[in-house]
């Protein structure tokens, strides 16, 4: 496949870039973290979204190449990010389901922590709910090993899968990220507010931090504040931005 070959060459040819989206703490209004999001500028087809090329990469071992590239790039950029955003800013990196199954993941994370000297607790790895449910016992083992390295773990797109908080509770996770489909309906649909309220209450009951994704307007932000959500992310807060253009909002 041509596109797959192109993707193999992309990292080498500097067509892959990482942009960063701020995550703001609702109590302090400060940027507490940035989420790394991969971008591919294809020489012929232009910008290709990760929702297209990540699934392609997952069909082969290519995903581990990309995953490694993202981990190295972001952990190397983190001191520059902190100079702009603030010295305590954490870094969030997405892991794909297939990376989670790969025995080379834990050593790769350990390696970037060692070579960059990054404090492990400042790195948060995001895993989708569905990735965990593919093979729950492998996932649990990998998460435990990552946790032992001292990194933090977040469940991404929470609410779109079929896991329950009862299942998640047994995993060593720190954070839930509420899927943006729930946030989109806030302020328009009473049910959405009740769903988000109960996710936040249950998460807090088991000591998880809650991040709302996809916050696009002030009304959603107000509702989330009222529901005592911990952190927010979305176009209303800040767009994914090249590292050299990030600014402090705190
Ligand atoms: O940024 P954007 O909305 O285009 O991202 C689309 C999807 O691609 C999201 O689900 C996001 O989590 C995923 N994604 C973005 N960057 C990465 C990455 O570095 N690794 C993985 N596995 N997924 C990513
Ligand atoms: O699956 P994950 O949560 O990692 O996906 C993050 C994706 O969501 C990114 O591709 C980013 O571009 C996108 N995103 C971030 N904020 C918003 C928002 O406010 N609205 C919408 N529609 N997408 C968003
Ligand atoms: Mn994410
Ligand atoms: Na998400």
Q: What is the pTM of this model?
A: 0.96
CA-nearest of 49, 66, 70, 48 to 57 is 66
pLDDT given for residue 250 in this prediction = 47
Count of other CB atoms within 10 angstroms of residue 72: 16
Cβ of 181 less than 6 Å from ligand 2: no
The pair of structure tokens assigned to 13 is 């040819």
Burial category of 241 from C-beta neighbours within 10 Å (exposed 0-12, middle 13-18, buried 19 and up): middle
- pLDDT (0 to 100) of residue 132: 87
Q: Ligand 2: distance of its center to the CA of 241 in Å?
A: 12
Nearest CA to ligand 2 atom 1: 157
Residue 126 C-alpha to ligand 3 middle, in angstroms? 6
In 122-234, beta strands by DSSP E: 123-128, 152-158, 175-178, 209-212, 231-232
Report CA(132)–ligand 4 centroid distance (Å): 14
| Residue whose CA lies nearest to ligand 1 atom number 15 | 37
Per-residue pLDDT of the chain in tens (250 residues, 90 and over written 9): 788 999 999 988 889 999 999 999 999 999 999 999 999 999 999 999 999 999 999 998 899 999 999 999 999 999 999 999 999 999 999 999 999 999 999 999 999 999 999 999 999 999 998 888 888 888 999 999 999 999 999 999 998 887 777 788 889 999 999 999 999 999 888 899 999 999 999 999 999 999 999 999 999 999 999 999 999 999 999 999 999 999 865 4
Ligand 1 atom nearest to 38, measured from its CA: 16
What pLDDT does 179 receive? 96
pLDDT of residue 73: 95
The vertex-51 CA angle with 13 and 43, nearest 5°, equals 30
Domains located in the chain, CATH noted: 2-173 (3.20.20.450)
What residues pair up with 232 in beta bridges, in sequence order?
A: 24, 212
ipTM rounded to 2 decimals: 0.97
38 lines ligand 1 (CB under 6 A): yes
Q: Which of 125, 123, 101, 103 is nearest to 114 (CA)?
A: 123
In the prediction, which pLDDT does 237 show? 97
């Amino acid at each position: 496949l041509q596109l797959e070959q192109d993707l193999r060459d992309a990292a080498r040819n500097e067509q892959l870039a990482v942009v960063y989206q701020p995550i703001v703490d609702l109590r302090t209004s400060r940027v507490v973290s940035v989420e790394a999001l991969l971008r591919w500028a294809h020489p012929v087809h232009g910008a290709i979204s990760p929702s297209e090329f990540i699934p392609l990469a997952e069909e082969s071992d290519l995903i581990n190449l990309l995953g490694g590239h993202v981990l190295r790039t972001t952990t190397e950029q983190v001191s520059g990010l902190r100079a702009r955003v603030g010295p305590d800013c954490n870094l969030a990196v997405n892991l794909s389901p297939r990376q989670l199954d790969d025995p080379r993941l834990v050593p790769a994370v350990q390696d970037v922590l060692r070579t960059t000297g990054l404090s492990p607790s400042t790195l948060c790895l995001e895993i989708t709910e569905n990735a965990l449910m593919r093979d729950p016992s492998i996932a649990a083992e990998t998460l435990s090993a990552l946790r032992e390295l001292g990194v933090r773990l977040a469940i991404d797109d929470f609410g779109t899968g079929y896991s329950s908080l009862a299942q998640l509770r047994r995993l060593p996770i720190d954070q839930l990220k509420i899927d943006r489909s729930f946030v989109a309906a806030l302020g328009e649909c009473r049910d959405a507010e009740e769903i988000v309220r109960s996710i936040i209450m249950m998460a807090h009951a088991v000591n998880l931090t809650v991040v709302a994704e996809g916050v696009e307007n002030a009304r959603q932000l107000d509702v989330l504040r009222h529901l005592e959500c911990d952190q927010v992310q979305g176009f209303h807060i800040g767009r994914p931005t090249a590292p050299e253009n990030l600014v402090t909002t705190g």
